[in-house]
Amino acid sequence: MFNVNDRPSPLIEYDCEATAVKIDPVSGYFINISDIRWREYPQLEGKCTAIRDFTSGLLTSTPGITYLDHSGTTLYAQSLIDACSSDLKTNLFGNPHSGAASSQLTSCRVEDIRRRVLQFFNGSANEWDVVFVANATAAIKLVGEAFRDQPSGFDLGYHEECHNSVVGLRQVAQHSQVVKDTQTFDDWLRSRIRFSHLRRRPERPKLIALPGQSNLSGVRDNALLTAVCQKVKHEQSRGRSVYSLLDAAALASTAPVDLAKSCYRHDYISLSFYKIFGLPDLGALLVKKGPAADILLAKRYFAGGTVDLVIPGSDPYHIRHSNVHEALEEGTIPFHNILVLGHALDVHTRIYGSMQNITRHVRCITNSAREQMLALRHKTGAPVVRVYWSSEPESQGPVIAFSVLDAAGHHFRASDVELSAIDAKIHLRKGGMCNPGGVAKYLDITAKQMRDFYARGIKCSDDSRAPPGFYGAVGIIRVSFGAMSSTEDVEALTKWLRETFVNREADSLSYEDGREDTTSSTAFDGEGERKSEKETVTKLEVGPGPRPRALRRILSCFR
């Protein structure tokens, strides 16, 4: 029984020697990563995956897994959970909009964490501000809404491998165009400036949006990032309203985003902290102070906490906060998540030291995985995988996007590959990764083909309806590595690929919707007795199987 007098200390002490990585000086690999995983990431070992069945009182446990979806989210450390738990049990944190002591504590902690976030990205508070938002998508949407509210709207240029959250900005732009490289960016910018001159009207603001790293392929176009920064700065010095947005959500997960470097000095930078630390589920928009911030401050909508004065009634009037983050963080900020972020910064630094250390570690693992995957061959000598990869190693992140092929060069359906991975307890991602430009580029799919596939029920996110003999590819398989990845993960990946796909025909691996043995559901009543699928249940056990079929079986239990 918990005793109030047994309240733990707010400080959790750890053996720093035991929980800090030791680095191989040549490869950069964390030579004690197995110990780190055992101590800090028990969810990988199956130690903390026991689930109590309250109907029987028994514990069931899940064996260890191979987690290869760090681009989706990386994993949180056990010591992060311990630190957050202790802090929240020991301190009282009030709503920062109030003036009580508990609220003042919250406000002080939040502002300290905001300052530390800038330090993490090597930014100065004199030049940058941090706006906390739900995630990178919310940060991008905030920028889009502000540009949309400009009197004449705005023109948008966006990279072909942008995430859908960026592509969606074209719906609120007056004009939009895809850019692929430095030349097409220059052409876009010149054409939009010329268009304004021909119309003899004030120039519309122009926003160029780029990914720091493709979330699909892991490719980083550092040359383009640098060229855009330089060109935008040049146009701004001439008085033109040209701005750049860097979607750094994928990049920042394993690479240092150094705001002092020329390639990262964009006007707006979107981030998701769960991709860096595992927790919290929180994002941020880094805003360069000056004209770029002024555009955001001119957005029409305002909310609680963002204004100094509001006059209601027939003579409406309002004055926004002059402080950038106060004017843009609408309503009560997610202050508990921000408090978790403070602990995440501490734990991450204690374990890994720096993002540069992580960069070297994941590069070593990624290169090893790629070499082993490309070495896999069918008995005919044909490759088992086709990798979509940058030709320049320095421009490649810890991501391997690939297709699985049979000896004839036919593609295994991505949905079948995913289900096979689920059976092997390998966590990866398949589909389009919300990156339609990347899918079209790497799989050489035209817009017409995409429409035709969709009309037939074949989507990049789910190609399970592709008929036998359909050997095209509409989706991609992605594995991605993080700070706590190890060579054991690479061995499990290549072992699964070798044992499942070598010398196998594409049509021979099929989890078709009608197979009765691929999905099972069992319902129990409060006494642990088996019930029919249409009766009330308190527990479901669902085995691997096709998602559409599994979902129908689950839903039938609750009708």
Q: Which residue has the tokens 């859908």?
A: 164
Does the active-site annotation cover 229?
Answer: no
Q: Are residues 184 and 272 in the same domain?
A: yes
How many whole angstroms separate alpha carbon 55 and alpha carbon 495?
A: 38
pLDDT tens digits for range 8-45: 334 445 556 666 999 999 999 999 999 999 999 999 87
Q: Are residues 412 and 546 in the same domain?
A: no
Identify whether the C-beta of residue 499 lies closer than 8 Å to the C-beta of residue 487: no
Q: Are residues 546 and 445 in the same domain?
A: no
Nearest C-alpha neighbor of 283 from the set 139, 383, 380: 139
Strands 128-133 and 155-159, by their bridges, are: unpaired
Strand ranges (E), 328-480: 385-388, 399-404, 426-427, 429-431, 476-480
Query: 335-352 and 78-90 are packed helices; what angle lies between their axes, rounded to 10 degrees?
Result: 140
Q: What is the pLDDT of residue 510?
A: 63
Candidate list 162, 263, 364, 434, residue with the active-site label: 434
Q: Are residues 409 and 481 in the same domain?
A: yes
Identify whether the C-beta of residue 50 lies closer than 8 Å to the C-beta of residue 61: yes
State which residues form the domain around 501: 356-508
- Last residue within a domain, chosen from 279, 314, 347: 347
How many whole angstroms separate alpha carbon 180 and alpha carbon 164?
A: 16
Q: What is the pLDDT of residue 472?
A: 63
Q: Are residues 482 and 552 in the same domain?
A: no
CATH number at residue 434: 3.90.1150.10
**Residue 28 falls within a domain, yes or no?**
no
How would you list the strands of the sheet with 268-272, edge to edge? 128-133, 283-288, 268-272, 242-247, 206-211, 155-159, 175-179
Q: Which residue has the tokens 């699985």?
A: 404
**Residue 207 falls within a domain, yes or no?**
yes
Which are the contacts of 204, defined by CB distance < 8 A and separation ≥ 6? 150, 152, 153, 154, 155, 174, 175, 192, 196, 241
**Residue 153 falls within a domain, yes or no?**
yes
Q: Are residues 386 and 531 in the same domain?
A: no
Q: Are residues 256 and 339 in the same domain?
A: yes
How many whole angstroms separate alpha carbon 504 and alpha carbon 40?
A: 39
- Last residue within a domain, chosen from 316, 347, 378: 347
How many whole angstroms separate alpha carbon 371 and alpha carbon 400?
A: 11
Q: Are residues 250 and 202 in the same domain?
A: yes
Which are the contacts of 396, defined by CB distance < 8 A and separation ≥ 6? 218, 219, 220, 366, 389, 390
Q: Are residues 114 and 263 in the same domain?
A: yes
What phi and psi values does residue 487 have, to the nearest 5 degrees?
A: -65, -25
C-beta atoms surrounding 541 within 10 Å: 11
- Last residue within a domain, chosen from 286, 314, 347: 347
How many whole angstroms separate alpha carbon 365 and alpha carbon 353?
A: 18
**Residue 4 falls within a domain, yes or no?**
no
pLDDT tens digits for range 352-402: 999 999 999 999 999 999 999 999 999 999 999 999 998 887 899 999 999
Q: Are residues 462 and 479 in the same domain?
A: yes
Q: Are residues 424 and 537 in the same domain?
A: no
CATH number at residue 155: 3.40.640.10
**Residue 485 falls within a domain, yes or no?**
yes
Q: Are residues 424 and 478 in the same domain?
A: yes
Number of independent structural domains in the chain: 3
* Per-10-residue mean pLDDT, the chain, length 559: 35 59 96 94 67 45 80 98 97 96 97 98 97 98 98 96 97 96 92 72 90 97 95 94 98 97 96 98 98 96 93 90 94 97 98 97 97 97 95 91 94 92 94 94 91 83 67 84 97 97 81 40 43 42 45 45
Q: Estimate the share of the chain in helix, then strand, then coil, as percent rounded to the nearest 5.
A: 40, 15, 45
How many whole angstroms separate alpha carbon 164 and alpha carbon 168?
A: 6
**Residue 156 falls within a domain, yes or no?**
yes
**Residue 82 falls within a domain, yes or no?**
no
Mean per-residue pLDDT over the chain, rounded: 86
Q: What is the pLDDT of residue 47?
A: 47
Q: What is the pLDDT of residue 302?
A: 93
**Residue 1 falls within a domain, yes or no?**
no
